[in-house]
Structure 1
Amino acid sequence: MKIRFTLFLLLLISISESKVNAQLSAYTNFQNQFMVFDNAIIRKIEYLVPIQYKVGRIAIPYLDNSRNFKIYYNGGSTKINDGFTSNFQVTDNLLTYQNAKALWVWDKGSVMNLSKYCDQFYTGDSVVLFFEGVQKEFKAYYNGEIYPIENFLAATSSDLFSQDTTVVISNEMDIASGALPSIKVSDNIAAYVNYADQFRIFYHGAIVEQENNLVTSFDVGRNTTAYVDINKTFKIFHGGKTTKVDEFQPYSYSAGDDVVAFVGYDNYFKIFYQDSVYNIGYFQPDFRVKDNVVAFQDATGYFKVFYKGTIYTLESYYPADFKVAYNSVVYKNRSNVLRLFSDGNIYDVTSADITDWRLDYDVLQYRFGANMYKVFYKGQTY
């Protein structure tokens, strides 16, 4: 009965953290009106061009033309304040913003003040790690609660928090030299080195005492932390379990959502996914990990994608410019066709001469000329 109850709790956590079906994008049309694409419905939400906006999975925060801070959510736009917001971040489920130095979190319509004075913070899909400047303490917001983390953390890097989730860590990079930050936050997990050089992981509202010695390097993704310990052993923490993947430090590695791609000391390119290691081949590729996707150039120069346990071949060459997000990869091929890989499907979207394109999670937005936009989502053009 105890095992069944534990499995039931894990299922509830998984359901609560599963990403909702909302798919958003935003643009300014040729009449300078602010438009939102929301699950195949296009809505006009502002008559004037916003000063700034960012697209999350379920919400779009923005500063309107008068610097009022607003949030589009669930079909409508709500004003949060009149011109006080100076900074904001948005992810899958959470939104953080600052009024002067005060830090607030928006969580599916509910708002909570996290700190009256905050200089450093980072927002994941379901966790916020921040430095509470009044009490001089690092704290975490998760699932509606605030948790104490540490009074002091290591600060060997000029950038304490990692802001780039696509960096590939090489064996020439380490924390002690200042080449890497001492805190990384991604989705539902945070990993950090504390003042005593101990390596800790904040996961599901609890601090995991992972290593009591300084690790060489680490990277994080949903449910996942990959790292090289003090003995140069490569380990992966995934879903609460730690696996020793290799006795030696890899040449390079990068973590995503339940996935880690790495080149081992034996020169084999490998991918850890859902507690299994896939041996892709004997080569050191260019590769990029983002969310659920590993995009890479194989030994023959082909452009391939590893997605949820399956390898897909996209091209016989490696494109110079492509974008990766969530379950998708987009690029222009040699025939000038805008091609999208998304959730295991390959779409030739358009062969027209387009000015720009971008991915908002799995929504592809592309532009003709100055302000003519189209949106492509799940095989349909809007």
Structure 2
Amino acid sequence: MPLKKALLLLLCTVFVSAVMAQPLAVYTNMQNQVIVWDRGIMRKVDYLPPVEVKTGRTAIPYLDNSRSFKIYYKGGARTVNAGFTNEFVVSDNLIAFLNAKSLKVFDNGNIKDLSTFCTQYYMGDSVLMFFDGVRSEYKAYYNGTVYPIEGFLAGNPLEVVKVSDNIAAYDNYANQFRIFYHGNIIEQEDYAVSSFEVGRNTVAYVDINRQFKIFHNGKTYLTEEFPPSAFQVGDNVAAYVSNDGYFKVFYGDSVRSLGFFTPEFRVADNMVTYRDPGGYFKVFYKGDIYTLESYYPEKTVVQYNSIAYVNRANILRLFTEGEIYDVTNAELESWQLNYDVIKYQIGRNMFRIYYKGTEYSQ
């Protein structure tokens, strides 16, 4: 095979592997063993129940039974420190943690010191924005690099900062609306905005003239001349009720009207769930509309291209990436959706993991 083609194939393989990386799940069994489900394999990673555990898409940070801070990553758990971590958060790709006021980030297997005195931080999947109290400056960690964002002036800190995935938005000290996107600060508006929401590649906001605008993939769209009565933003999608009462979805650089009604709705990764005028439970997902139920469920969990709920037939149902799965009709002690993985418990000692049509058990 020619060298050029071989390199291209290798790059494509690495890219697809990164995009298609399977998520994780974790639970403590009846023997108090900590079990991690990783790529279809159950692994015992600890032998006493943790004090606190959180699940990311590529890593699982936790405080073990003795409060040592550990991170499960790529098949094994490593001890980061013995009892110094007092706070931690996890996203798709990052883990931020505080040792007293010292902020650190775990990224792709490596730990980086960000600030020895941090009083504020905001994390998305790939962006960590924080206030460095040593230099009195807001900074952003993105893709292995720390970027200066805003020097701290005398007075209060930034009032509103919102971060999601690979983007951050805020009104700066000069009352100007700014967006941090792919390592660059975009001078979005010369004035502060009254309200805004963020998602992957997307920021929706009402500007000083009360026009409703959407920044998406580096471009700004004027979607409405008047502010909507309600709006939400997710990854690559936004939904809103316009000033004249139409329910609309922004997706793929265009606006689609779903009708003249004001629904209950939620926006998440690439999708919008809503109650239609007939009471049906529907989801707008990547340009298509799916009907899930003829009624609107009381409780739904929405994460990462997925929706999970127990329907009236007592079936735990999962919608993920355009497919509908009936997971189980057993009486459940508990269940939880992490990204697109369902973890559920039957009775006292039976745990199951469900991922894209396949059930896994220990």
TM surpasses 0.5: yes
Unaligned runs of 5+ in 1: 1-10, 161-180
Q: Say whether 1:111 aligns with 2:111.
A: yes
Match of residue 337, structure 2, among 343, 348, 359: 359
Q: Say whether 1:240 aligns with 2:192.
A: no
Report what 1:43 is aligned to: 43
Change (3 A) 1:51 1:194: same
For 1:17 and 1:118, locate their aligned partners in 2 and report how far apart those are by CA, in whole Å.
Answer: 34
Deviations 1:112-140 (A, max 9, x none): 10000001101111110000011111000
Change (3 A) 1:252 1:153: farther
Report what 2:314 is aligned to: 336
For 1:19 and 1:249, locate their aligned partners in 2 and report how far apart those are by CA, in whole Å.
Answer: 36
Q: Residue 122 of structure 2 contacts residue 161 of structure 2 at CA under 8 Å; is this kept in 1?
A: no
Q: Say whether 1:319 aligns with 2:306.
A: no
For 1:22 and 1:108, locate their aligned partners in 2 and report how far apart those are by CA, in whole Å.
Answer: 15
Cα shift at 1:152: 3.5
Cα shift at 1:341: 0.4
Change (3 A) 1:367 1:214: same
Report what 2:274 is aligned to: 296
Q: Say whether 1:252 aligns with 2:248.
A: no
Report what 1:94 is aligned to: 94
Q: How does 1:164-183 map to 2 (within 5 A)?
A: 182-183=160-161
Cα shift at 1:269: 0.5
Instruction: Please give the secondary structure, in 2, of the residue aligned with 1:317.
Output: coil
Cα shift at 1:155: 9.2
Q: Residue 337 of structure 1 contacts residue 350 of structure 1 at CA under 8 Å; is this kept in 2?
A: yes
Cα shift at 1:56: 0.2
Q: TM-score, normalised by structure 2?
A: 0.93
Report what 2:58 is aligned to: 58
Report what 1:6 is aligned to: none
Report what 1:27 is aligned to: 27
Instruction: Please give the secondary structure, in 2, of the residue aligned with 1:254.
Output: strand
Instruction: Please give the secondary structure, in 1, of the residue aligned with 2:118.
Output: coil
Report what 1:172 is aligned to: none
Cα shift at 1:249: 0.2
Change (3 A) 1:155 1:337: farther
Deviations 1:205-227 (A, max 9, x none): 01000001121100000000000
Deviations 1:296-322 (A, max 9, x none): 101111000111111100001000101
For 1:64 and 1:362, locate their aligned partners in 2 and report how far apart those are by CA, in whole Å.
Answer: 25
Give the AA of the match of 1:29. N
For 2:273 and 2:349, locate their aligned partners in 1 and report how far apart those are by CA, in whole Å.
Answer: 30
Instruction: Please give the secondary structure, in 2, of the residue aligned with 1:320.
Output: coil
Cα shift at 1:243: 0.4
Instruction: Please give the secondary structure, in 2, of the residue aligned with 1:119.
Output: strand
Give the AA of the match of 2:259. G
Give the AA of the match of 2:174. A
Cα shift at 1:293: 2.2
Give the AA of the match of 1:51. V
Q: Give me the CA root mean square deviation.
A: 2.0
For 1:281 and 1:18, locate their aligned partners in 2 and report how far apart those are by CA, in whole Å.
Answer: 38
Q: Say whether 1:200 aligns with 2:178.
A: yes
For 1:18 and 1:34, locate their aligned partners in 2 and report how far apart those are by CA, in whole Å.
Answer: 26
Instruction: Please give the secondary structure, in 1, of the residue aligned with 2:119.
Output: coil
Cα shift at 1:371: 4.3
Q: How does 1:223-238 map to 2 (within 5 A)?
A: 223-238=201-216
Cα shift at 1:154: 11
Q: Residue 241 of structure 2 contacts residue 262 of structure 2 at CA under 8 Å; is this kept in 1?
A: yes
Cα shift at 1:19: 3.7
Q: How does 1:72-221 map to 2 (within 5 A)?
A: 72-152=72-152, 182-221=160-199
Change (3 A) 1:62 1:355: same
Give the AA of the match of 1:144. G
Greater strand fraction, Structure 1 or Structure 2: 2
Cα shift at 1:60: 0.2
Deviations 1:71-98 (A, max 9, x none): 1011111111111011111101111111
Match of residue 270, structure 1, among 245, 248, 251: 248
Identity of aligned residues (%): 58
Deviations 1:252-301 (A, max 9, x none): 00000000011111111111012011111110000011222211101111
Unaligned runs of 5+ in 2: 1-10
Instruction: Please give the secondary structure, in 2, of the residue aligned with 1:49.
Output: coil
For 1:88 and 1:37, locate their aligned partners in 2 and report how far apart those are by CA, in whole Å.
Answer: 21
For 1:135 and 1:271, locate their aligned partners in 2 and report how far apart those are by CA, in whole Å.
Answer: 42
Change (3 A) 1:16 1:101: farther
Q: Say whether 1:69 aligns with 2:69.
A: yes
Instruction: Please give the secondary structure, in 1, of the residue aligned with 2:130.
Output: strand
Q: TM-score, normalised by structure 1?
A: 0.88
Report what 2:263 is aligned to: 285
More relative contact order in 1 or in 2 (CA 8 Å, sep 6+)? 1
For 2:258 and 2:140, locate their aligned partners in 1 and report how far apart those are by CA, in whole Å.
Answer: 37
Q: Residue 153 of structure 1 contacts residue 193 of structure 1 at CA under 8 Å; is this kept in 2?
A: no
Q: Residue 70 of structure 2 contacts residue 79 of structure 2 at CA under 8 Å; is this kept in 1?
A: yes
For 1:156 and 1:39, locate their aligned partners in 2 and report how far apart those are by CA, in whole Å.
Answer: 46
Deviations 1:171-223 (A, max 9, x none): xxxxxxxxxx6110000000001111110000010100000112110000000
